[in-house]
Chain A
Amino acid sequence: GENVEQHPSTLSVQEGDSAVIKCTYSDSASNYFPWYKQELGKGPQLIIDIRSNVGEKKDQRIAVTLNKTAKHFSLHITETQPEDSAVYFCAAQAPGTYKYIFGTGTRLKVLA
């Protein structure tokens, strides 16, 4: 079945710098990749997603890129702010189903 790997597990950046989180997936038939942000004590909140028919999607300071050949996708946050500090999860929709397979999460800390 589908498996998703996520790196790094923790990431500290200075406020204003960029942060990049990378994920790889195993099943080339996967076609939908959401990213979720989880703040302490809250559920995962969708921040951006991408489908396999596009290579990049941007929403203000957040962008996601997808490389189908290499089976990896990345989250890019520019001009980071302290409120970006959270745990970020990537996910892939398992082919032939609607369930999500999640990565292990990245704890991002933005230092003021």
Chain B
Amino acid sequence: EPEVTQTPSHQVTQMGQEVILRCVPISNHLYFYWYRQILGQKVEFLVSFYNNEISEKSEIFDDQFSVERPDGSNFTLKIRSTKLEDSAMYFCATTWGAGETQYFGPGTRLLVL
């Protein structure tokens, strides 16, 4: 069964550094999402992306965050200057159609020191 994959599985970085989290969607999926889950808290929506544009973003998704699909397959989340409070599990989710069920990847655990 096709799966969403994410790399790296874990990343440790120093505060102020840039990180790029990568996601490979299921092959025929066109809509992409990033969510995050701070330890012990809810899964929170960050951003949705379709047709090379951001469709929607949350208040969390400020100027230090960006997303792109650099090569037509990978979908990336960049955090320009990480803060301690960015430490969380980041999940990519994808779906083939708007409003259809979202399938989640295994996540990247980001630790900012």
Chain A residues at the B interface, C-beta cutoff of 8 Å: 32, 34, 36, 41-46, 49, 89, 91, 93, 97-105
19 contacts across the A-B interface (CB closer than 8 A): A32-B99, A41-B106, A43-B91, A43-B104, A44-B43, A46-B104, A91-B43, A97-B48, A97-B56, A98-B33, A98-B56, A99-B45, A99-B48, A99-B58, A100-B43, A100-B45, A101-B45, A104-B42, A105-B42
- Whether A98 and B44, one on each chain, are in contact in the complex, defined by CB atoms closer than 8 angstroms, is no
Contacts of B35 in A (CB 8 A): 100
B residues sitting closer than 8 Å to A (CB atoms) are 4, 6, 31, 33, 35, 41-45, 48, 55-56, 58, 91, 95, 98-99, 101-107
| Whole-angstrom distance between the Cβ of B55 and the nearest chain A Cβ | 7
- Specify which chain B residues have a CB less than 8 angstroms from the CB of A103 in the assembled complex: 42
A43-B106, A43-B107 are known contacts. Are A98 and B42 too (CB-CB below 8 A)? Answer: no
Whether the pair A46, B101 counts as a contact (CB closer than 8 A) is yes
Q: Assess the B42–A100 pair: CB atoms within 8 A.
A: no
Which B residue sits closest to A4, measured CB to CB?
B42
Q: Do B105 and A43 touch (CB < 8 A)?
A: yes
Interchain CA distance A93-B104 in the complex, whole Å: 15
A91 surroundings in chain B (CB, below 8 A): 43
Kindly report which residue of chain B lies nearest to residue A91, judged by CB atoms: B43
B101 and A49 form a contact (CB under 8 A): yes
Residues of A near B41 (CB, < 8 A) are: 104
CB-CB < 8 A to B33: which residues of A?
Answer: 98-99
- Give Cα A104 to B38, complex, Å: 11
- Decide: A89 and B43 in contact? CB cutoff 8 A: yes
**CB-based contact A98/B103 at 8 Å:** no
Contacts of B104 in A (CB 8 A): 36, 43-46
Do the beta carbons of A34 and B43 come within 8 Å of each other? no
